[in-house]
Amino acid sequence: MTWEKLKPPEPDDPICCCECDFYPYRCCDCEDLDEVFRRWLKEKPAPPGLQTPMFGAMIENLELSMVPVLLLLPLLLRVASLHYLLGIVFLTALPGLVLWYYYATHKRKRRTLFFLTLALYSLAYMYYLFITEILPRGGVSSLQACAVTTGMILTLASLIHTKRGPGFVSAALHEAHSHRMKTAEGSAHLSAASSSGLLMTGTEPVPQKWSMCPVCKVMRPPRAGHCKTCGSCVQRLDHHCVWINSCVGRANHRSFLQTLCVFMLTSVYGISLVLRSLCPQQHLMTALFYCPGIYSQSSTALCFTCCWYSSIISAGLLYLLLSQVLNISFNVTEREVQLALRNKRGQRHLWGLIVVTGEHSRGFCQNWVEFLTMADASVSLRSNLPSLV
């Protein structure tokens, strides 16, 4: 077999199994196989007639990083519930492994479904254990079960709304802004001429400073930023959140904060119900650290381990929620915080939780009013349908 036959094909060159001389007597007519491989090499989807739309969407968004979550999470939780020492080892190593994978993914600037799959699957698995293990034990009323179910539904609904898009910057956005500025300028001139009979140039509106993105080559508004992971510019970019596999920007920042709040309330309430059911004689905070006889049954040990697992995830998201609330209170985005610290223009307060830039802040109340009333000004050709990936 010659070296020329082992060279990788060029993007436009066909590849055929008959060109390899491993088994020359098994040469086949493989035009369909050539077409599939060419589309795979070019990252093109297969023709619509070869697969159903649902199967095509699953294959297109499938990642190997989803497999460990779907297979190993229930297994590891059951192993951790066998003994409290195993639980300590697993629950101690889990945050470290997640952070390691986060930094490995963040360094390569690529999107991944690992964290979104972990969040959704953990939420579904905790709810499954709540229905199958906690409710049959008694001690949880129908109203309390409905409250947990409502929290689950609201969390998923808020997540879907967040996934609609962060507000991408497009060329049409700058055109619409220029048209509005010309209209406002003409209106100001007409009103000045009608009131004084003269055209007063001093009443012209001050235009906002738009800048050209060196990567996207589009004009973007103030406070917009380019996300290297998504490969697009986002209006009022806050950060790229790996837990939703999307950016957080002007269009979905409020729904992102709502998702965090609803999840935190549901998680804390669900953990309290589980602990009251498993350790009715113990105080709520005491039961999380000490519950006699909890490892006598596999089901109670698994639910207790899942309480600790949920508490660790809730603690991480609580830190994220707290940082978001503080940033909104000072009218600063996470991207602006990082830029201010890099350029040494920010002032740290409260052990680094607050970074004050003083550039956009107009007071606590005005900052929150601006955040709650801001609207998506994007004019995008992208689909408005939500995507969970």
Report residue 312 CA to chain centroid gap: 18
Instruction: Quote the CA–CA distance of 152 and 263 in Å, as a whole number.
Output: 8
pLDDT at 221 over 50: yes
Identify whether 241 is a catalytic site residue: yes
Range in 124-133, 219-228, 264-273 the model is least confident about: 219-228
DSSP 203: G
> Which pLDDT score is estimated for 104?
76
| Confidence class for position 308, pLDDT limits 50, 70, 90 | very high
Q: Are both 76 and 151 inside the same structural domain?
A: yes
Say which residue, 228 or 206, is predicted with more confidence.
Answer: 228
Q: Are both 145 and 272 inside the same structural domain?
A: yes
Mean pLDDT of 119-132: 91
Other beta carbons less than 10 A from residue 248's beta carbon? 26
Q: Are both 47 and 12 inside the same structural domain?
A: yes
| Confidence class for position 150, pLDDT limits 50, 70, 90 | very high
Half-sphere exposure of 193 (CA within 13 A, CB side): 7
pLDDT at 228 over 80: yes
Q: Are both 212 and 90 inside the same structural domain?
A: no
Task: Evaluate whether 46 touches 36 at the Cβ level (below 8 Å).
Answer: yes
| Confidence class for position 180, pLDDT limits 50, 70, 90 | low
| Confidence class for position 337, pLDDT limits 50, 70, 90 | confident
How many domains does the structure of the chain reveal?
4
Instruction: Quote the CA–CA distance of 56 and 186 in Å, as a whole number.
Output: 51
| Confidence class for position 270, pLDDT limits 50, 70, 90 | very high
Name residue 33's amino acid: L
| Confidence class for position 177, pLDDT limits 50, 70, 90 | low
Other beta carbons less than 10 A from residue 328's beta carbon? 20
Q: Are both 271 and 352 inside the same structural domain?
A: no
Q: Are both 97 and 11 inside the same structural domain?
A: no
Q: Are both 155 and 91 inside the same structural domain?
A: yes
Alpha helix ranges (H) inside the chain: 31-41, 53-61, 66-80, 84-108, 114-129, 142-162, 171-196, 253-278, 284-289, 298-329, 334-342, 364-373
256-290 b/e (C-beta count within 10 Å ≥ 16 → b): bbbbbbbbbebbeebbebbbbbbbeebeeeebbee
Is 76 inside a domain boundary? yes
Q: Are both 160 and 272 inside the same structural domain?
A: yes
Mean pLDDT rounded to a whole number for the chain? 75
Residue 241 parent element (H or E): strand 239-241
Is 210 inside a domain boundary? yes
Is 380 inside a domain boundary? no
> Which pLDDT score is estimated for 268?
93
Mean pLDDT of 234-247: 89
Is 61 inside a domain boundary? no
Q: Are both 276 and 310 inside the same structural domain?
A: yes
pLDDT at 240 over 50: yes
Say which residue, 327 or 35, is predicted with more confidence.
Answer: 327
At a CB cut-off of 8 Å and minimum separation 6, what does 17 contact? 27, 28, 30, 33
pLDDT in tens, 33-45: 455 445 554 444 4
Task: Evaluate whether 233 touches 220 at the Cβ level (below 8 Å).
Answer: yes
Instruction: Give me the percent of the chain exceeding a pLDDT of 90.
Output: 22
| Confidence class for position 149, pLDDT limits 50, 70, 90 | very high
pLDDT at 115 over 80: yes
pLDDT at 304 over 70: yes
Instruction: Quote the CA–CA distance of 42 and 25 in Å, as a whole number.
Output: 30
Six-digit token pair at 282? 């113990």
pLDDT in tens, 49-105: 444 444 444 445 555 556 666 777 888 888 998 888 998 998 888 888 888 878 777
Mean pLDDT of 188-209: 48
> Which pLDDT score is estimated for 248?
92
Is 237 inside a domain boundary? no
Is 26 inside a domain boundary? yes
Say which residue, 278 or 35, is predicted with more confidence.
Answer: 278
Structural domain for 195, as ranges: 171-231
Instruction: Quote the CA–CA distance of 123 and 73 in Å, as a whole number.
Output: 12
Instruction: Quote the CA–CA distance of 112 and 38 in Å, as a whole number.
Output: 24
- Out of 241, 247, 291, 307, the active site residue is 241
pLDDT at 16 over 70: no
Is 203 inside a domain boundary? yes
Name residue 263's amino acid: F
Six-digit token pair at 8? 């990788």
pLDDT at 348 over 70: yes
Six-digit token pair at 9? 């094909």
DSSP 380: -
| Confidence class for position 343, pLDDT limits 50, 70, 90 | confident
DSSP 208: P
Half-sphere exposure of 56 (CA within 13 A, CB side): 10
At a CB cut-off of 8 Å and minimum separation 6, what does 254 contact? 371, 372, 374
Strands 246-248 and 232-234: unpaired
Q: Are both 147 and 268 inside the same structural domain?
A: yes
Q: Are both 78 and 143 inside the same structural domain?
A: yes
Q: CA torsion angle for 71, 76, 82, 83 (degrees, to 10)?
A: 180
pLDDT at 282 over 60: yes
